[in-house]
């Protein structure tokens, strides 16, 4: 997927249908907004950081040199309404509407490992969350960038049974966990499947029927 496709991939939460918010992992001070030809990432003062990732695959930066211009940026679109995990983080308080930012974890540990840790913990199955994330990796020599590592994560329940779905474009795999809260660990279904295409899925009901089709076919 190119930047435009991945950025507009989903705007509303698959669980609650509320508008998703955008965050730049590791850079709480940066604001992301759309501009005419792409995405603009900037700091709040006008001589600060400025990056324009154009949808044509090129990027431009402000004149001053900042280290961030060479960094791979991890962009997250997530639902703050459902996201129990987001709410648990002290940095959440700093997040404002669209363009607000959340620092999830110290640099180096990373967002994904933080969430893997959460998802492996069965006591958290009553939580809900929806987010997807992707990386923008700039190539400063050619002034181009690559979009990669798109990932989508959905976790929900109806008080009786729970579902977690991890879609990894990098691994081309969907991981599904499903069970009832009354189940023993042995009864919980853990599946690894070829990645599901969820682009036309808008609700959790549609998602469940899609998974059931997949399970039947595999
Ligand atoms: Zn939601």
Q: What's the CA angle centered on 18, arms 15 and 20, to 5 degrees?
A: 95
Domains identified in the chain, total number: 1
What integer pLDDT is reported at residue 170 of this predicted model? Answer: 84
Q: Measured in whole angstroms, how far is the alpha carbon of residue 212 from the centre of its chain?
A: 24
pLDDT (0 to 100) of residue 96? 29
| 9 assigned to some structural domain | yes
| Residue 180 near residue 193 (C-beta atoms within 8 A) | no
Give residue 77 CA to ligand 1 midpoint distance, Å: 11
State the residue range of the domain holding 12: 3-157
What is the CA(19)–ligand 1 centre distance, in A? 8
Sequence-distant contacts of 67-71: CB under 8 A, at least 24 apart: 68/27, 68/30, 69/138, 69/140, 70/138, 70/140, 71/138
What pLDDT shows up at residue 92? Answer: 38
Residue 72 lies in a domain: yes
How far, in Å, from the CA of 157 to the mean position of ligand 1? 12
Residue 186 domain flag: no
Number of CB atoms found within 10 A of residue 35's CB:
13
Of 131, 145, 172, 170, residue with least CA distance to 72: 145
User: Does the model's pTM come out above 0.85?
Assistant: no
Please give the pLDDT value at position 9. 94
Does residue 143 sit within a domain?
yes
Question: How far does residue 34's CA lie from ligand 1's centre (Å)?
Answer: 22
Q: pLDDT for 61-80, tens place per residue?
A: 999 989 999 999 989 898 88
User: pLDDT over 90 for what percent of the chain?
Assistant: 40
172: alpha, beta or left, given left = phi > 0 and alpha = psi -120 to 50? left
Instruction: For residue 214, tell me if it sits in a domain.
Output: no
Q: For residue 93, what pLDDT is reported?
A: 35
Is residue 47 one of the residues assigned to a domain?
A: yes
Residue 5: how many other CB atoms lie within 10 Å? 12
Cα 128 to averaged position of ligand 1 atoms, centre (Å): 8
Q: Does residue 64 form part of some domain?
A: yes
201 belongs to a structural domain: no
Q: Residues of the chain whose pLDDT is less than 70?
A: 83-124, 218
């Amino acid at each position: 997927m190119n930047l435009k496709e991945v950025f507009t991939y989903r705007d509303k939460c698959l669980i609650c249908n509320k508008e998703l918010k955008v965050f730049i992992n590791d850079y709480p001070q940066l604001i992301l907004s759309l501009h005419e030809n792409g995405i603009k990432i900037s700091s709040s003062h006008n001589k600060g950081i400025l990056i324009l990732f154009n949808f044509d695959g090129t990027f431009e930066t402000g004149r001053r040199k900042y280290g961030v211009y060479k960094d791979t940026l991890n962009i997250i679109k997530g639902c703050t309404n459902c996201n129990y995990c987001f709410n648990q983080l002290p940095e959440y308080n700093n997040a404002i509407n669209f363009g607000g930012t959340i620092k999830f974890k110290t640099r180096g540990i990373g967002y994904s490992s933080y969430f893997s840790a959460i998802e492996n913990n069965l006591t958290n199955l009553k939580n809900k969350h929806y987010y997807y994330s992707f990386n923008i990796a700039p190539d400063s020599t050619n002034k181009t960038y690559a979009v990669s590592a798109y990932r989508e994560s959905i976790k929900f329940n109806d008080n009786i049974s729970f579902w977690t779905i991890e879609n990894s474009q990098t691994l081309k795999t969907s991981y599904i966990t499903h069970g009832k809260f009354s189940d023993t660990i042995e009864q919980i279904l853990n599946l690894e499947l070829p990645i599901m295409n969820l682009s036309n899925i808008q609700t959790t009901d549609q998602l469940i029927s899609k998974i059931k089709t997949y399970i039947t076919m595999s």
